[in-house]
Amino acid sequence: MKMKLTIELPDSPSRTSQVFVGRDTSAEFSEILASCLEDRVPYWIWDENVFALWRERLKDSAFPPIEPGRLIRFSASESNKRLSTLEELAAQLIALGADRASTLVAIGGGVTGDVVGFLASIYLRGVPHIQVPTTLLAQVDSSIGGKTGVDLDQGKNLLGAFHQPRVIWMDLQFLETLPPEEFRQGMAEVIKTAMIGDELLWNYLEAHTDSLKRRDSEALYEIVTACCRLKAKVVQLDEKETGHRRVLNLGHTVGHALERLSNYQMRHGDAVALGLVAATKLAVALGRIEAGDLMRLEKLCKAWDLPVRIPAGFTPEAVLAAMQTDKKHMRGKLHFVLPVRIGGVIDYQDIGLGQLGEIIGLLK
């Protein structure tokens, strides 16, 4: 069970990302890293929790050795996804001697990838980076495509850059130690991906819930590779999200608003699940999708204990106000992605806020 995928950008074929998916592939990663680095020096930035769980385990494998003085550990949480964290990490890199011949290696989940990717895009005006995603959410979504960013008080990922990683190495063994809550969050992005453009993946999710909950290797491989293929295809068509790539935002307009309103106490996957249900309810109201598809979505979310109703305390007015600072709000219009069927979406801009408020009210 191994897959290699190349994400090649048409406007710049030299800027490619190599995606590798497999299990127990430390030896392959060592070879990949040596080939990718050439004469560059790697500096490793780990989520400290992942480091505690995996560093000793990996010592017994063929995982690349980490030389003293090239390792940074940091607390990867949404509250630390800030400019101040970039400053702290950059200061540590300078102290360790990282220069323009360095490459940053991010090992952790989505926050780690977002922060280190953004840091790589601006450190000494830009150095390469490699992503080693260790959570389901990062493997199926955030590590692919070059989006990086940090949060502001006004919203998520409002500061960032597109900076494609040279290599994205995904080893399914990291998912063994992923807490059930974290695995559940990642499943929201898998469901989103299937809803966007992969009806076969959707059918697989409906038929293999039990094997996925057991974290069966073959089942994990199926969903991770399916998500990677779809996202790679979308990114190759529209790297900078000027058009088609916006479909990947399905569920995220409402989702990001809920995260912000909760002061990021609501987990990303839970927020995305609520956003998916909101978008699908709106699509039903507009006659864009069958009510039966909404029922299938809610059933699949419930199978993973993902919420389909907004908690008390989130008023429709507050959610609407939070969406006004979303980065998808442009020229007075809100780019709102709507599903039209299982495996198909449209980018819809003319959403009346009153109607959207009514839909959010129905999620109470």
CB 335 within 8 A of CB 237: no
CA distance 47 to 107: 6
Question: Which range (138-152, 191-205, 321-335) has the least confidence?
Answer: 321-335
Give the lowest-confidence range in 69-73, 127-131, 172-176, 326-330.
326-330
Distance between CA 289 and CA 204 in Å, rounded? 21
Whether residue 334 has pLDDT greater than 80 = no
> What mean pLDDT value characterizes the chain?
91
239-362: CATH number: 1.20.1090.10
Which residues face 154 on adjacent strands? Answer: none
CATH class of 3-178: alpha beta
Q: Which of 151, 98, 153, 168 is nearest to 126 (CA)?
A: 98
Q: Is position 256 annotated as part of the catalytic site?
A: yes
In order of 15, 233, 245, the CA distances from 9 in angstroms are 7, 10, 13
Please tell me the distance from the alpha carbon of residue 145 to that of residue 7, in angstroms, as a whole number: 8
Stronger pLDDT, 362 or 300, i.e. the higher one:
300
State the maximum Cα–Cα separation within the chain, in Å, rounded to a whole number: 60
Q: How far apart are CA 149 and CA 261, in angstroms?
A: 19
pLDDT reading at 191 higher than 80? yes
Out of 245, 246, 260, 327, which one is annotated catalytic?
Answer: 245
> CA 94 → CA 76, 116, 209, distances in Å?
20, 15, 47
**pLDDT > 70? residue 14:** no
Q: Residue 202: what residue type?
A: W
Give exposure, 185-216, as e/b (b: 16+ Cβ within 10 Å): bbbbbbbbbbbbbbeebbebbeebeeebeeee
pLDDT score for 61: 82
Would the pLDDT of 300 be above 90?
Answer: yes
Cα 306 to Cα 114: distance, rounded to the nearest angstrom: 24
Q: What is the pLDDT of residues 102-129, one digit of tens each?
A: 999 999 999 999 999 999 999 999 999 9
pLDDT at site 363: 74
- Cβ-contact 132, 178 below 8 angstroms: no
- Range scoring the smallest mean pLDDT among 89-98, 101-110, 301-310, 327-336: 327-336
Is 125 tagged catalytic? yes
Mark whether 208 is an active-site residue.
Answer: no
Considering 231, 246, 260, 327, which one is annotated as catalytic? 231
Among residues 166, 229, 249, 267, the one annotated as catalytic is 249
Segment 131-168, tens digit of pLDDT: 999 999 999 999 999 999 999 988 889 999 999 999 99
Question: Across residues 284-305, what is the average pLDDT?
Answer: 96
Tell me how far apart the alpha carbons of residues 65 and 21 are, in angstroms, rounded to a whole number: 21
Which tens digits make up the pLDDT trace of 336-348?
A: 899 999 999 988 7
Q: Is the pLDDT of residue 328 over 70?
A: no
**In the chain, where are the structural domains located?**
3-178, 239-362
The catalytic position among 129, 156, 163, 268 is: 268
184 annotated active-site: no
Is 281 catalytic? The answer is: no
More confident residue, 279 or 313: 279
* For residue 17, pLDDT beyond 80: yes
Question: Average pLDDT of 200-229?
Answer: 97
- Name the active-site residue from 78, 182, 241, 259: 241
Compute CA 189 distance to the chain's CA centroid, rounded to the nearest angstrom. Answer: 8
